[in-house]
Structure 1
């Protein structure tokens, strides 16, 4: 065999890889490795040389990838969310000035819509954009060469193939935290050379699909216990695609390559042996035969290139499932709408808004193959069935008053084909709310309505979509108002967060077995027992939405509900799904959090997989790991909305380490916060809210104590510093945000419905939505840079976010505070009349009204920019949510002001909640105190 080393640049060597039967080219200076031979100095790109098995690679990793984050001014430019895979660049996240110095505060001044803001740049939904003119803070930053040298010294320069993680310690006390770091990618995944058969950046699943709390896995359980970091996976397997996101690759072969022992799907981290005739599983090391179609293109009936196959180059793929993966033919989408037609439902406008939204969404319902079925059942003190014959424009109303023995009054024409009965359905929806306009019924037979809907579709599977505006009072599942403000803030409060009636959990599990999912839309102006009713979506993989004091006469309420309801109806769903997570030997999935039913020890049953719903899984190390890397693979067997049975396979690989410093340097603070939020909610329901809060604080103390003792020179002695890894410096603040969150915080004033709904969100939101829910975003609009609110290359350019403290509030200012669910537009008491006129079209601050509002779009540039920022805030994240906008005056209604200020989590909160400096002080005292015990 010809020696390729004779044709390599200086410093490069060629090493024969027995596993993959080809040469691996390694740069001894940087540690970079690649399958393709590098170009000689002064020469063009080399012609691709044939590798064993006809493999030709056309892509390689460049050295010094961290430079891609920096523009000419040294400003960080992270990728758009979803643009980078988990093993892409991003080890150190972002650069902050040496010593954690805080940039100078914004100069005070009156309203000037063209004034420049502070900070190193502004950002759009896709990343940072430098201002046209650099600020003083920018001018302090080093240039590209200095940054490259600094990163090289920190050990971040080597490219793919070098496993070392550089650990950078920061002192949390006095450290400047740039909120923009939270939108960046997690620490880089650095796999050893030869771990992957592909050099594609997509070989590891994008972290928005699957991320781990640590990107370097401890080799022993004792090392994991020593680090005190939680070990788990955060999954969002059915993630929506934003503009610019790559579509999931689809594999259509009839034979799916899987390990014959552990049933792992073939992926980029298997190895080929016996000249490529067999492949060795990356999970259990068993060898398997390579299917013939791997080297044959069935579409063109010609020899194919296995190295181009999607499953060997992408960490997220969809396999089209053959018949052996089907118990029955693929399920058609089925929607049964259970609508509250009582006086409360009619008077609030809920019924009219719901029927109008359904009518307007008929064309958006998944119905590719014209198999979609629909039914409508109304309920108050009786059940109202609507019979719509195919081809007719008329409908018949059938009323069943017997709530003890629920039955279907007619076997046919209740569940109708959407296409065949479209005309009659449209007529019914157009007049349904008018049919009950004079009703005086005030009861709610929700339980019997659920039973009727289940009987209608139990043999088919589908979705029960419930819109109810009052507490269930009749028949099975009737509830009583059990809320007692006297127990708020006491050890008994957690009982209000548990289901009051076993019917809802039992019924939900029965639904899950029959592939029926339940979505709940709750509208009551009074107590509705969200904790009990949310059991239905929790065990059937559905969604819970809560609209307290809903009144459709307020356009903001009607728009929010119509938007979120319409998005749920229009979104493609995965039906009759099961999820199983496999991992390398020595790892076991130990606990599961999210909306599903655990059918067996490791099999999750989901009648539907909604878009952008997240799941958290805790992992245990059962035996010592000897391999240089481990693999996690999530498989979601499901039926698409188009009636096709598929398996979505999400594969991620992580290096292993026996070095605790690498464990800390690779920690993903966003994934850790997501897992801690799920664990805290479970603890608050199974035990007490106080126990959940204590567990969060204790976890932070454990992490900080261990880090101090093992990673700093202070060791076991007292220290004035509070040290943590740079990549985890937001973890204490995120923990404080969770401790102050409505779902967890100590309070005697939070209604149990609000707390239960907040907990439902904490356990279902994907990380992209959960992090702002814990750490809201705070913008200054009155002095934002002139390009903010205008269209850039990556969409609307957003202002630079501010730290979450009221110290940044100026009396003449205009600010936006938002957490993904609610938005506040804060207006300072000294706001000049021109600002009030430009934004609100009012002559003076005194005439401004507080509360829910819709900003007018006026014929001036500043109004258009402010509206663009608000609209982009509503659109930039994944999910169906449409946050309300509230106008808050600095000297306005006290309750509104306190609500808005509660989002500034770095400040001291009401009811003696600590500020961020106070929280750090308490942590430091406990860390130093525990050093002596």
Structure 2
């Protein structure tokens, strides 16, 4: 017998009300609802459940409720934000007017939760420093209720078919739902594998998001389904992330058993199947049957039978193996560091040379040298090359000058590259003297190319890391560059030419370095044009990193501190040498393109002479044939030599379910991974096409996603709609894309110097998601009225204030605010800030006495100063990576360039020709509805 849903006339839809166990009938054009069915007829009801059956997931199509109806449902207008005394456009309670939801499934839990959020608000009553007299307030700790969508998701998580949890799709109307920065801290959509997919109950059996993210946590079974959704399918991999305090290191399999598939060469993992009484295992990538190694069930340490179910590789998604000799082309090489230090007049006068040599000296003890095998060399250069010979066992060193830079040679066969432990005394003396040696150097010019060739000759037999410190544009010898900065090109179609390499030397040299296992890091300091775009080729193709300090001057303690901190961390961090990476996947999936700092040696083998920590790589995936299995597996294998002289294989395995359901596809989307992938695509396109093409490409991708979602998942289908619908789990994607479009790396402007833009592009393509997202969507805090626990120590360290939406509407003339993007911190001081606030934070009598600019915040003898210092310190330490953000004090009526820089972080505001978030959404709606409206 046909269900009521199958008997509806056109223009009507039925939704199952789980609470009342009955159907709700909706007229799709008017939103009119009724309990009794309308006259019988035919209608498209593929998403309606059979009569009397509760849906396991959610409907593929969502009802769109008019604003008035929705407000009535939620109980009237949005509650005022108690922290600011006005209706909130942001955090605490959001206008629910145009939110799209399924009323039949809402039930009392959602309504109660909504009231709870409204009561708890988006801030705290009053403030620390208000317009009136400053006083410490007895504020209550701020709390946030669970968003109703999360509550619903939890309800649905308990439902399933055949024991497998299904994805639930919830639709949001972007036009009436302001971005909530806290959503960016949410984990990616849950990976819901079928029952018994994993042979281990371990919570670490699937990849952690800090190592592996996918743009989709449910993989479409066909390329046509992926194409219909317009979603990107890509992986974001950070194989060597740093370990925060308290985190467990990657488990190390120390025995000699490495079980691999005979056909696809994947490593045994928690998603294989044991068959034939456990004597064989079936590969989860290619289904090949393989013999279980005899020693797999033997504990070699205790020399007794072992339990295979306790083996590390069967319980952890990320493991390391000690590689046997067959994985080595040669014995593990020692770590080698060659420092190329620019000692030209500009470098010495800026204080770079003195700061660099002092930092190396202070960090000699931290350079990885567990087996006392590490080798080190110092080469200085201006228009000549200066080598230093350090005989073992001596504290003396001699300088050898090579002025013939056209045919670079090593002036001595030995003692230029020395063992760190043996030459420690000579190194310490030398590093203390280099500053004095070149203190009066008046030579202007840089033979960077010849210096690179010299370092390359010195380390070619072994490989290792060249760390370059350069303060001027290379001007002599191989790789000499000319100043091509032309302000007339900025903002034009020809600007992208300034972001491409000016000389083939650096790419050619980098590829030679890659072949001989040499990696290059660049530290650039020039106050004038330095052609970062060209010099960044070296780290790009050798898996290094670029660091840029424009207008560096060590006389400013802030400059010296930032460089010394970052340089010291780079020197001290463990590096993975002689690495190659290959990503394998289940049959039907192919790695199509790769983004990041490496050289693609063959179609799918990434060569990385030295892999730094916390560098990210994006890989686009193609579906080549229909996938018929219930889940797929991706496996990243990294063969490398540790800097302690041990050959290892790091294996990261991730399993994702497959789906033929479009709604599950959308509800599994990871907006953080999508943004990370789009950032890489944007930079790639800006170099191969134009900056404008790059922006248009990313914007069009967003329009395509929302258009496809509207056509497939909402009742308006292909027609015009007053709503702008997207799934709940992607509701921050538009504001992240807006942040990307406004990022210095690709934004429309005729004011951005090419060096600044090129450095920003280097960050966009290498930062892990944890650093990239704040770089695109900065964090904004109100400090003058923050909750009393903010800035104090909690269970997880220093407690941060609640983040605000990135709009200047939240700035108050009497307030103190902090804006940061992981690279820079701004303290914004309102012009009407009370004297007591200025006294407590800056130890100055009034706002007029305050000076804007780069600053160090002193720790004063009052609670407010201590809390703010703790927050700044936490921001500098809380993310992975070596970066140490500068702090700038910005006065509301201070220097216009500094004010505009800080305000440009508030990406939801209109800036110059760039739209506000609301204008951007309006333009998106026009494009999605087929109009040609622009900004």
Give your verdict on TM over 0.5.
yes
Which of the numbers 519, 522, 530 marks the counterpart of 2:521? 519
- 2:219 alignment counterpart: 217
Structure 1 residue 929: deviation in Å?
1.5
- SS of alignment partner, residue 407 of structure 2: coil
Q: Cα deviation per residue 1:394-424 (whole Å; 9 max; x = unaligned)?
A: 1101000101100000000000100111101
Query: What is the distance in 1 between the residues matched to 2:231 and 2:702?
Result: 9
Using the size of structure 1 for normalisation, the TM-score is 0.86
- SS of alignment partner, residue 616 of structure 1: strand
1:274 has 2:276 as partner: yes
Aligned 1:509-658 pairs, distance under 5 A:
509-658=511-660
Using the size of structure 2 for normalisation, the TM-score is 0.86
Q: After TM superposition, what 4+ stretches of structure 1 lie above 2 angstroms from structure 2?
A: 28-32, 95-117, 131-134, 146-161
Query: What is the distance in 1 between the residues matched to 2:55 and 2:663?
Result: 21
CA contact (8 A) 1:556 1:854 kept: yes
Structure 1 residue 184: deviation in Å?
1.8
Q: Cα deviation per residue 1:443-501 (whole Å; 9 max; x = unaligned)?
A: 10000000000000001001110000000000000000001010101110000000000
Higher mean Cα deviation, 663-672 or 159-168?
159-168
Structure 1 residue 112: deviation in Å?
5.0
- SS of alignment partner, residue 798 of structure 1: coil
- Taking structure 1 as reference, are residues 695 and 194 closer, same or farther at Cα in structure 2, changes over 3 Å only? same
- SS of alignment partner, residue 723 of structure 2: coil
Query: What is the distance in 1 between the residues matched to 2:919 and 2:931?
Result: 18
- SS of alignment partner, residue 915 of structure 2: coil
- 1:470 alignment counterpart: 472
- Taking structure 1 as reference, are residues 476 and 298 closer, same or farther at Cα in structure 2, changes over 3 Å only? same
- Taking structure 1 as reference, are residues 449 and 666 closer, same or farther at Cα in structure 2, changes over 3 Å only? same
Query: What is the distance in 2 between the residues matched to 1:356 and 1:142?
Result: 51
- 2:87 alignment counterpart: none
Structure 1 residue 205: deviation in Å?
1.1
Query: What is the distance in 1 between the residues matched to 2:524 and 2:325?
Result: 40
CA contact (8 A) 2:926 2:932 kept: no
1:929 has 2:930 as partner: yes
Query: What is the distance in 1 between the residues matched to 2:900 and 2:554?
Result: 26
Q: Cα deviation per residue 1:816-875 (whole Å; 9 max; x = unaligned)?
A: 000000000000000000000000000010010110000010000000000000000000
CA contact (8 A) 1:112 1:783 kept: no
Query: What is the distance in 1 between the residues matched to 2:424 and 2:544?
Result: 26
Structure 1 residue 901: deviation in Å?
0.2
- 1:294 alignment counterpart: 296
Structure 1 residue 150: deviation in Å?
3.7
Structure 1 residue 183: deviation in Å?
1.6
1:859 has 2:871 as partner: no
Which of the numbers 234, 251, 254 marks the counterpart of 2:253? 251
Unaligned runs of 5+ in 2: 1-52, 58-90, 93-111
Q: CA RMSD in A?
A: 2.4
- 1:836 alignment counterpart: 838
CA contact (8 A) 1:113 1:784 kept: no
Structure 1 residue 793: deviation in Å?
1.2
CA contact (8 A) 1:403 1:448 kept: yes
CA contact (8 A) 2:338 2:376 kept: yes
Query: What is the distance in 1 between the residues matched to 2:466 and 2:161?
Result: 51
CA contact (8 A) 2:814 2:832 kept: yes
Q: Cα deviation per residue 1:567-602 (whole Å; 9 max; x = unaligned)?
A: 000000000000000000000000000000000000
- 1:660 alignment counterpart: 662
Which of the numbers 401, 405, 419 marks the counterpart of 2:421? 419
Structure 1 residue 152: deviation in Å?
5.2
- Taking structure 1 as reference, are residues 795 and 640 closer, same or farther at Cα in structure 2, changes over 3 Å only? same
Which of the numbers 414, 435, 438 marks the counterpart of 2:437? 435
Aligned 1:161-560 pairs, distance under 5 A:
162-560=164-562
1:771 has 2:773 as partner: yes
CA contact (8 A) 1:31 1:161 kept: no
Structure 1 residue 163: deviation in Å?
3.9
CA contact (8 A) 1:161 1:191 kept: no
- Taking structure 1 as reference, are residues 152 and 824 closer, same or farther at Cα in structure 2, changes over 3 Å only? closer
- SS of alignment partner, residue 498 of structure 2: helix
Q: Cα deviation per residue 1:57-99 (whole Å; 9 max; x = unaligned)?
A: xxxxxxxxxxxxxxxxxx99xxxxxxxxxxxxxxxxxx98489
Query: What is the distance in 1 between the residues matched to 2:846 and 2:750?
Result: 37
Query: What is the distance in 1 between the residues matched to 2:146 and 2:627?
Result: 42
- SS of alignment partner, residue 664 of structure 2: helix
Query: What is the distance in 2 between the residues matched to 1:350 and 1:320?
Result: 41
Aligned 1:753-792 pairs, distance under 5 A:
753-792=755-794
- Taking structure 1 as reference, are residues 225 and 349 closer, same or farther at Cα in structure 2, changes over 3 Å only? same
CA contact (8 A) 1:829 1:891 kept: yes
Structure 1 residue 153: deviation in Å?
4.7
CA contact (8 A) 1:762 1:770 kept: yes
Query: What is the distance in 1 between the residues matched to 2:812 and 2:307?
Result: 63
- SS of alignment partner, residue 204 of structure 2: helix
CA contact (8 A) 1:189 1:215 kept: yes
Query: What is the distance in 1 between the residues matched to 2:694 and 2:318?
Result: 35
Which of the numbers 876, 879, 882 marks the counterpart of 1:880? 882
Query: What is the distance in 2 between the residues matched to 1:553 and 1:663?
Result: 55
Q: Cα deviation per residue 1:187-217 (whole Å; 9 max; x = unaligned)?
A: 0000001111101110001011011000000
CA contact (8 A) 1:718 1:931 kept: no
- 1:39 alignment counterpart: none
Structure 1 residue 151: deviation in Å?
3.9
Give the number of aligned pairs.
826
CA contact (8 A) 2:123 2:802 kept: no
Query: What is the distance in 2 between the residues matched to 1:113 and 1:274?
Result: 75
CA contact (8 A) 1:518 1:540 kept: yes
Aligned 1:781-930 pairs, distance under 5 A:
781-910=783-912, 912-929=913-930
Query: What is the distance in 2 between the residues matched to 1:164 and 1:920?
Result: 31
- Taking structure 1 as reference, are residues 900 and 97 closer, same or farther at Cα in structure 2, changes over 3 Å only? farther
CA contact (8 A) 1:115 1:784 kept: no
- Taking structure 1 as reference, are residues 156 and 171 closer, same or farther at Cα in structure 2, changes over 3 Å only? farther
Query: What is the distance in 2 between the residues matched to 1:877 and 1:502?
Result: 36
Aligned 1:121-160 pairs, distance under 5 A:
132=141, 138=144, 141=145, 150-151=152-153, 153-155=155-157
Query: What is the distance in 2 between the residues matched to 1:876 and 1:607?
Result: 28
Query: What is the distance in 1 between the residues matched to 2:163 and 2:874?
Result: 39
CA contact (8 A) 1:114 1:785 kept: no
CA contact (8 A) 1:156 1:166 kept: no
Higher mean Cα deviation, 358-367 or 288-297?
288-297
Q: Cα deviation per residue 1:370-417 (whole Å; 9 max; x = unaligned)?
A: 000000001001000011111111110100010110000000000010
Query: What is the distance in 2 between the residues matched to 1:900 and 1:871?
Result: 19
- 1:734 alignment counterpart: 736
Q: Cα deviation per residue 1:258-288 (whole Å; 9 max; x = unaligned)?
A: 0011100000000000000000000110111
- SS of alignment partner, residue 646 of structure 1: strand
Q: Cα deviation per residue 1:144-181 (whole Å; 9 max; x = unaligned)?
A: xx999744554555699524100000000020322111
CA contact (8 A) 2:581 2:606 kept: yes
Aligned 1:78-97 pairs, distance under 5 A:
97=114
Structure 1 residue 930: deviation in Å?
6.2
Query: What is the distance in 2 between the residues matched to 1:852 and 1:648?
Result: 42
